[in-house]
Amino acid sequence: MVIISLIAAMPKKVFWNASASVPIGLYLATSPAKPGIGDIVVFDPPAEVARFADSRGYLPLGTPMLKRVAGLAGDRICRRETEVRVANVVLTARDRDRKGRPLPVWEGCRTLGRGEVFLLNVGVPDSLDGRYFGPQPIERVAAIAVPIWTFGSVR
């Protein structure tokens, strides 16, 4: 009963993550002043990404995503077929989801400009992230998410 009372009394900046994209658990949302490489951020996806995630049953409309910052202004990113590169990291994008449905594809190489961010959950091969929706406007980052209590390691 005490734990429930404590959770109810917590400020709204504390939230529960139930998605496997980052470890499940309790997080604190802090100012997005200047996210750095490796930070977990609260990302408000653009309408087309949100609609896609909702239509597939991945995430309901209006739900922010938790993603890691993998690239910032000046970083070079590439996607060729299923190979995705950012800095010295090479990952594989899937061409289909777990139900066999095709996933979005972007192609090419570019250097991220001011005001752009590349979000990628490296340790989660089926994360809906930059592998599929490419670079995003940094103003879509609502906060930096700091793990308070999680199940499993924060990758």
Please list, in sequence order, all residues whose beta carbon lies within 8 angstroms of the beta carbon of residue 74, skipping any fewer than 6 positions away.
Answer: 111, 112
* pLDDT at residue 153, rounded to an integer: 60
CA 67 to chain centre: 2
CA 71 to chain centre: 12
Q: Is residue 116 part of a domain?
A: yes
* pLDDT at position 118 over 80: yes
| CATH code of 119's domain | 2.10.109.10
Return the amino acid letter for 3.
I
Q: Is residue 155 part of a domain?
A: no
Domain count, the chain: 1
In which region does residue 26 sit, left (phi positive, over 0), alpha (psi from -120 to 50) or beta (all else)?
A: beta
Q: Is residue 41 part of a domain?
A: yes
99/3: higher pLDDT: 99
Quote the CA–CA distance of 104 and 133 in Å, as a whole number: 7
Percentage with pLDDT > 90 across the chain: 73
74: tokens are 């000046």
* pLDDT at residue 2, rounded to an integer: 41
Q: Is residue 145 part of a domain?
A: yes
In which region does residue 70 sit, left (phi positive, over 0), alpha (psi from -120 to 50) or beta (all else)?
A: alpha
145 lies in which domain range?
2-150
* pLDDT at position 95 over 50: yes
Task: Tell me the per-residue pLDDT of 1-44, one tens digit each, with 9 for 90 and over.
Answer: 444 444 444 455 898 888 888 889 999 999 877 899 999 999 99
Task: Tell me the per-residue pLDDT of 67-84, one tens digit each, with 9 for 90 and over.
Answer: 999 999 999 999 999 999
